[in-house]
Structure 1
Amino acid sequence: MPASKNPAIEDYLKTVYAHTEWQPDPITPKALADKLGVAPSSVTEMVKKMAAQGLIAHVPYGPLRLTDEGRLRALAVVRRHRLIETWLVREMGYQWDEVHDEAEVLEHALSDRLLEAIDLRLGRPARDPHGDPIPAADGTIATEPFLRLDGAPAGHTGRVLRISDRDPDVLRSLAAAGVAPGVGIEITTVDAAGERVLVTVTPIDADDSTGATAEASSIELAAEAAAEIWVTG
């Protein structure tokens, strides 16, 4: 089976890519094992296999980095995952906190033809329901300056760029508070202990014809929730 269609290799590639998508530190074999929930020895063997296929560059005991080929294959998996999540929300009635596990399964089974049909039907979406950019079929991906909300200074203004889908409970609580990708946000106060962040959120009005925005509201976020939010830099 080609590496690009091997579910185990796809999972490794996607996990290595995702680790550095929103922060700069490369992933270590131990961190990769923890994220995948496998034994370090399993990572060692798989990394050797992937290195032999030209997908990963690795120095013993050092961090893991994708080769150009590995990155292209990782982005192909990421594209499938994020398009599936978008399709499930827009077409199948799923909520944004329900789609991750479904996409984890379907991303390995979808044919390129069906994926293209889904992409076309959805109007070539640029981002998934959580705000993560969807790579194009050629492997290009749009990026823009960002910072994590818990590291943004008081007075910083921008818009919510993406919210991690790691914790469904956090997604539900943020949705209830009106925090979602695309809304305007201003960091009003960061407490001295760094445990709470007070923000002002300005939703985009549903009536696009007026160009108006809905009324802003102040929301207090725990540091754990703020750490799941990325905003424009």
Structure 2
Amino acid sequence: MPKTKVKSKAKPSRSSEASKAGSEAVDDYLKTIFQLSGREERQVASTEIAVQLAISGASATNMLQKLAATEPPMVLYRKHHGVKLARAGRKRALEIIRHHRLLETFLHQVLDYPWDEVHQEAERLEHFISERFEERIAAKLGHPEFDPHGHAIPALDGSLPGQDLQSLAQLGPGQSAKVVSVSDKDPAMLRYLAAQGIRPGVRLTLGEQLPFKGSWQIRIGRSTTPTLLSDSLAAAILVART
């Protein structure tokens, strides 16, 4: 009798082993790696990603291994050596960041959302808008370069302007600088800064650091009345010396 050929099970493709590049979880990983790696594009430890995304270290490692196994790879990962974005991962991260910051700007300028509410709304929407919708938003807004918090919006080609920034806390006493951007992660912090009149474009002068209290005296604009900012607030404000 002729032998019956037994078909071997096809191995899953490398790309099928990982989530698709457009999924929410993958987008969040890529965006987090991009933000943690900074301008110097340093290697990012899986533990840093786990802390940022509030997940276990094992979950972070598992996802990074999957992202490294896609075709083309989204990340370059070696266990115990950290992770960097591959070309495809960097491209996708910048697309999502562009979506996010355009949405924040649209919500703030067109729908009158306060700047402390736009981040969470944009987090929910950024994964789902089409490229056509993104371009319509950009055109409606006049192709803005910065979002309400002062963060640069990536151009269509993924480029970002080079900015020489430092935190307010890094200034010396008596030095002044212009606010360029503020962290958008904490709504309560944004409400406090707005109440003090601290926004991108405002000039701040650093005064003395108060002993034992972890606070700084600052002057806002031309005001001679000092305002107190905590160390964490001063670190969340990025400025440029001009």
Match of 1:120 in 2: 139
1:91 aligns with 2:110: yes
Q: What are the superposed Cα offsets for residues 9-65 of structure 1, whole Å, 9 maximum, x if unpaired?
A: 111000111123379764311121121122222211211111123221122112221
Match of 1:218 in 2: 226
The alpha carbon displacement at 1:221 in A equals 0.9
Cα RMSD after superposing both structures: 2.1
Match of 1:150 in 2: 169
Match of 1:211 in 2: none
Match of 1:14 in 2: 31
Give runs of aligned pairs for residues 97-112 of structure 1, distance below 5 A.
97-112=116-131
Amino acid at match of 2:64: V
Amino acid at match of 1:39: S
2-structure distance, mates of 1:24, 1:49: 21
**TM-score, normalising length: structure 2:** 0.84
Paired-residue identity, %: 34
Contact 2:43 2:81 in 1 (8 A): no
Contact 1:57 1:67 in 2 (8 A): yes
Match of 1:43 in 2: 60
Pick closer, same or farther for the CA change 1:121–1:216 going to 2, 3 Å.
farther
Pick closer, same or farther for the CA change 1:59–1:229 going to 2, 3 Å.
same
Secondary structure of the structure 1 residue equivalent to 2:149: coil
Q: What are the superposed Cα offsets for residues 176-204 of structure 1, whole Å, 9 maximum, x if unpaired?
A: 000011111221223355711112222xx
Amino acid at match of 2:190: L
Match of 1:56 in 2: 75
Q: Which is worse superposed, 33-42 or 125-134?
A: 33-42
Structure 2: any 5+ residue segments left out of the alignment? 1-15
Match of 2:237 in 1: 229
Count of matched residue positions in the alignment of Structure 1 and Structure 2: 222
Contact 2:37 2:84 in 1 (8 A): no
Q: Which is worse superposed, 77-86 or 26-35?
A: 26-35
Pick closer, same or farther for the CA change 1:93–1:62 going to 2, 3 Å.
same
Q: What are the superposed Cα offsets for residues 89-148 of structure 1, whole Å, 9 maximum, x if unpaired?
A: 001111111011111110011000000000011011111111111000110011211111
Structure 1: any 5+ residue segments left out of the alignment? 203-213
Q: Which is worse superposed, 40-49 or 120-129?
A: 40-49
**TM-score, normalising length: structure 1:** 0.87
Secondary structure of the structure 2 residue equivalent to 1:130: coil
1-structure distance, mates of 2:199, 2:140: 23
Contact 1:3 1:10 in 2 (8 A): no
Amino acid at match of 2:199: A
Pick closer, same or farther for the CA change 1:24–1:56 going to 2, 3 Å.
closer
Q: What are the superposed Cα offsets for residues 155-187 of structure 1, whole Å, 9 maximum, x if unpaired?
A: 322200111011111100110000011111221
1:184 aligns with 2:192: no
Match of 1:77 in 2: 96
2-structure distance, mates of 1:162, 1:155: 21
* Of 202, 211, 219, the match for 1:200: 219
2-structure distance, mates of 1:172, 1:96: 8
1-structure distance, mates of 2:149, 2:162: 15
